[in-house]
Structure formats: C-alpha cells, structure tokens
Amino acid sequence: MKLKYLVTLAVIVTVAGVNAAIVTTVKGREKMDIKKEVFGTTKDGQEADLYTLRNANGLTIKITNYGGIVTELHVPDRDGNLDDIVLGYKSLDKYIANSPYFGAIVGRYANRIADGKFTLGGKEYTLAKNEKGINHLHGGTKGFDKVLWEAEPMETDEGPALKLSYTSADGEEGYPGQLNCTVIYTLTNNNELKINYEAKTDKATVLNITHHGYFNLAGQSSGDILSHKLMLNADFYTPVDKNLIPTGEIKSVSGTPLDFRKPTAIGARIDQVKGGYDHNFVLNKPERGALSLAAEVYEKGSGRMMQVFTTEPGIQFYSGNFLNGSNKGKGTVYNKHWAFALETQHFPDSPNKPHFPSVVLKPGEKYEHTAVLKFSTK
Ligand code: GLA
C-alpha cells in the first residue's frame, strides 16, 4: 500500500520576533512545504503575509496576500540550477510605493476600458481614468493588485496551494455588484503554476481577472528578453488605436510582426512594432472555454521553457515596454524589455465592444478562469 500523508508536522518557529509557521508534509518520498511569515504593514496598518510554497521537485514560489503578488518563482534550468524568473521587489513598501503590477492579480477589469465608461442594463457606469487620464486600466485606482486578500494555505493532491479570497463591495472602483472572488495558486508536482479564478456577483457586472507576472526565463536580473523565442497559438489579434484601445477589428496576424505561430525571437521584429508588443491575441481554441495551449516561451541559455495554457479567449503579450530603469527590483534595476508578460484574459474594452466575447457576469452565474504555466527544460 502506498503510504499517503505519512507524516504531517507543524512547527511554529519564532524568527527575530516574526512568527513563521512551517508545515511539512511527507507524502511517501515526496516532500512539500508551506511557510508563512510577515511581509510588512500596509499604509492603514494591516499586516501582509508572505507564503513560501515548495513542490516535491524543489520549485519554490513566494506569494503575498497583498495584491496576491507572486514575489519570487524559482525554477530549474537544464542543469537543475534554480533561479528566480519573475521581476519584483524584496519588500512590501516598494510594491506599495510604485509597481507596474509586478506579479499581481489584476481586476476587476484587467487591461483597458476606453474613456473609463461602459453601459450595462441601460445604465452608464463611470470608472477612474487612471491611465494618463484617458483609459481605465487594470481595475482603477485601487484594484485587486492593491488590496489585502484573505489567505488559506492548502496541501492538495497536486501540490501545495494558496487560496486567496476577496470581497469587492458593490460600487467599488465604480463597478456594480458585490463580487466574491477566489484565486487559487497551486504549485503542482508536475512543475506547473496553476491559477484558478472564480467569482460570483449579486448584480449584473463586468469583469476580467488575470495574473500580471513579469517573466525572464534567464533569471530576473539577467537583462532583456529579446532573444527568448515565443510561440503564440493565435491566427488573429485585436488591433489597437494610439491609446491602446481595440479598434474592434479582428485581424489576421499573417504577414505582420505579430505572427508568432512558429517560435520566433521576441526581438526579431520588435522594431517594426511602434512602442513594442502590447497586444491582445485571439487564441485558437478547439472549443470556447477549453483549457488549451496559448503560448510557449523558450530561453536557449538556461534551457528553460514556459508553456501557458488557458480557458480564456485571449492573451495579452506585453514586452516590458514601459520598464525604464526606474524600478529598483531584487538587486537590480529593470530596463526596457527586461521581461515579458502573457496575461490570459478576455479582450480589452469588451464592455464597449458587443461583438467581443461577453464579460458580463449575472447573479446565479459563476466566473471561472484557469491558467496553467508549465515549466520544463530542453
Ligand atoms: C499591461 C498593459 C501594458 C501595461 C502593463 C503595465 O500589460 O497592456 O500596456 O499597462 O500592463 O505596465
């Protein structure tokens, strides 16, 4: 008989006045860890924690319940050496002071809503125009990336997990309905970071939640990502105007620098794209809502590969265009193109584009979104 859950050990350790709870589970020969420590204090005096999860193969992730931010993610290269592949900061204060959504959960509406306005059920709603006074971006002034989530560590059959819950009040940031959200991060023993999003509302509303990781598969302090090879499983994209708002067209990528159907270096054609890549791609899907391959990124030096699977209809590929050396991260400043983001999502400005897949959630319905980031080497 396979001995499951052989030993479960809970130790409370006090390190320099900080309470750290370490739970070690030995499952046969597998070993998983979840550790909790204090990360810092928010401006209104609330404590934010930092959870460290380790899977059976030694992959490690650090997540704070402030904004649901993944602050570190250590994955092996082809020789088994672990390196942190996500941009971010070492302290909570820096995330609070100025972060371009590093590693955060973004909502209620990730990406842009034109003019900060939409109409639902005959009523017009006004949102903050927090991008240059023009667009509503990533949920507004205090989006999901800036709130404290309730956190619950969990040991699952797939690997260690952290369940985050947040109730967004009716009218918060201008959106209708009380929205109850959960996001579960699972670091599976198959070397995947699985993100499961769920939400329910008590009034019809719009939403689009995502995770805004900034990745550099060579390691977060190793320079630009222009030589990373990217494959996007998308025949079409949604062109944007000068304010990065979709024009409403669905255009073929064929013959454009946005054609990543065959793995191509991110830098190969970036000069032909004004400002760099910051586009929503329409994912090829066997059927609507299916969990299917959206993207694949490979970095030759380390041999690291990241595959992205999602149930969402779109993905935002952003080539770190706005990084300009002003963010002093973990031991280094981050310059232009030092990371890429692949945000699984509905299309930008969908509340104002009735022909785009619907982002409306009604009472009694459940919003569900899964994204899987699978790590391997070759
Ligand atoms: C998304 C957007 C970008 C930018 C980043 C954050 O990827 O599409 O334009 O706002 O978030 O800086």
101 lines ligand 1 (CB under 6 A): yes
Q: Is residue 6 part of a domain?
A: no
Helix, strand counts (H, E) of the chain: 1, 31
Q: Which atom of ligand 1 is nearest to the CA of 106?
A: 11
The answer on pLDDT for 6 being more than 70 is no
**φ, ψ of residue 351 in degrees (nearest 5):** -60, -20
Residue 298 lies inside a defined structural domain of this protein: yes
Alpha carbon distance 336, 37 (integer Å): 33
Query: Which atom from ligand 1 is nearest to the alpha carbon of 101?
Result: 6
Residue 16: its pLDDT value, please?
34
Per-residue pLDDT for 98 more than 60?
yes
Is 81 domain-assigned? yes
Tell the residue nearest (CA) to atom 6 of ligand 1: 100
pTM above the 0.85 mark? yes
pLDDT tens sequence across 197-248 = 999 999 999 999 999 999 999 999 999 999 999 999 999 999 999 999 999 9
Whether the CB of 341 sits within 6 Å of ligand 1: yes
Query: How close is the Cα of 20 to the center of ligand 1, in Å?
Result: 34
pLDDT tens-digit readout, 302-312: 999 999 999 99
Q: How far is the CA of 147 from the centre of ligand 1 (A)?
A: 19
For the chain, the distance separating the N- and C-terminal CA atoms, rounded to the nearest angstrom, is: 35
Q: Residue 195 is part of a domain; what is its CATH number? A: 2.70.98.10
Give, in degrees to the nearest 5, the angle at Cα 63 between 179 and 200: 15
C-alpha 319 to ligand 1 mean position (Å): 9
pLDDT of residue 24: 47
Specify whether 211 is catalytic.
no
Distance 73 CA to ligand 1 centre (A): 21
Annotated catalytic residue: which of 136, 312, 343, 369?
A: 343
What is the predicted pLDDT for the residue at 18?
38
In a domain, 211, yes or no: yes
The answer to the question of residue 150 being in a domain is yes
User: Which residue CA neighbors atom 5 of ligand 1 most closely?
Assistant: 100
Contacts of 80 (CB under 8 A, 6+ apart): none
**Distance, CA of 369 to CA of 108 (rounded, Å):** 13
- Identify whether 117 is part of a domain: yes
Q: Which neighbouring-strand residues pair with 195?
A: 185, 371
276 CA distance to ligand 1 middle (Å): 11
Q: 188, 179 in Cβ contact below 8 A?
A: no
* CA neighbor of 76 nearest in space, from 54, 58, 103: 58
In a domain, 10, yes or no: no
Question: What pLDDT, on the 0 to 100 scale, is given for residue 33?
Answer: 82
What whole-number distance in Å separates Cα of residue 267 and Cα of residue 264? Answer: 8
pLDDT at 198: 98
CA 108 to the chain's CA centroid: 13
Q: Whose CA is nearest to atom 12 of ligand 1?
A: 100
Q: Is 343 a catalytic residue?
A: yes
Sign for the CA dihedral angle at 351, 196, 250, 277 comes to positive
Q: Residue 8 falls within a domain, yes or no?
A: no
For the record, the structure tokens of 26 come out as 């030995």
Counting from 1 in the atom list of ligand 1, the atom nearest the Cα of 322 is: 12
d(CA 71, CA 89): 7
Report the domain count for the chain.
1
Between CA 319 and CA 225 the distance in angstroms is 8
**Which residue range(s) make up the domain with 246?**
17-377
160 close to 168: Cβ distance less than 8 angstroms = no
